Chains A and B, each alone.
Chain A
């Protein structure tokens, strides 16, 4: 390894720490899904059905997520409405 490379390398994050950061995000996301209450998937379907009465959307344009914090849970609803010009 040349001296030049050596200094270049110092600037970059080590691959191990990139791996750890990625894992922390994936694992947190998957655990969150795991701790959803049993009614959650059905509620999610119904919310989508209600929205569909008014707007034409695909399943993947809606994300319904439950975030559990220490003392409260937050229901997060994200809907990507279709391009208006497509109407």
Chain B
């Protein structure tokens, strides 16, 4: 049975697509056949982050409208075996996704894949609700910032009332992923700490991804940051994947790293 995991946040621009690409790649690296679906109709960019934008021929909406079959639309990742991408459509019609259509596609993917990662659009309206409706688990991506935490709480409310699981009397398993974390600013009491956010949201912590230059570099190149083993963000995503698979891994990169004299002199970067 495939596991459906939605990556969601409410607030826009907090790192959902970065996370979907990283976690999807990470699961495939661990040997699970994985597909990442871009639910952001009209604003697709998962293909850019994954570096397969030039190979998009058909998309999610084409499959729903039966203009193409699933195998024609799925893009096989060139770097990571067992990883596939289902791109979003560029159509401006926001109602292009229908609940029945999404269900049919997910049912078909579930026959073939072990993990289905749904990259949600921003917001708490229809598009985001569609992306989370069929989920078994949810990764709630949050930045240590007031509006992001508030929106995460809202999306948690929707997961608990408007998902299929909730309607059937069950629960979607929730994970908190704190991203763009800056230990220096937390130490200066200028940024909410991990403990603060955990306190408010009361959701088990899947991981903390530090603010890192490696994320922009990765997106420039179209290679998910988890493949950059040198970077703290890449390592933090690897840890998060292990935790998603039930392993106990200690959290890293939460404290200010003391830079050595030479590194300070040369202006060491993360």
Contact = CB atoms under 8 A, between A and B. Distances in A.
B190 A15 contact: yes
Interface string A31-72: 100100000000000000000000000000000000000000
A16 B200 contact: no
A59 to B, nearest CB: 23
B181 to A, nearest CB: 13
A19 B192 contact: yes
B157 A14 contact: no
Contacts of B149: 23, 27
Contacts of A17: 189
A30 B200 contact: no
Contacts, number: 41
Contact of A16 (B153, B161, B186): B186
B157 A15 contact: no
Given A23-B146, A23-B150, A23-B200, A16 B157 contact: no
Nearest to B185: A16
B196 interface: yes
Interface residues on B, range: 10 to 19
A27 B190 contact: no
B191 interface: yes
A22 B200 CA distance: 11
A23 to B, nearest CB: 5
10 contacts: A15-B190, A16-B192, A16-B193, A17-B189, A20-B199, A23-B150, A23-B200, A27-B149, A27-B200, A30-B154
Interface of A: 14-17, 19-20, 22-24, 26-27, 30-31, 34
Interface of B: 145-146, 149-150, 153-154, 157, 161, 186, 189-193, 196, 199-201
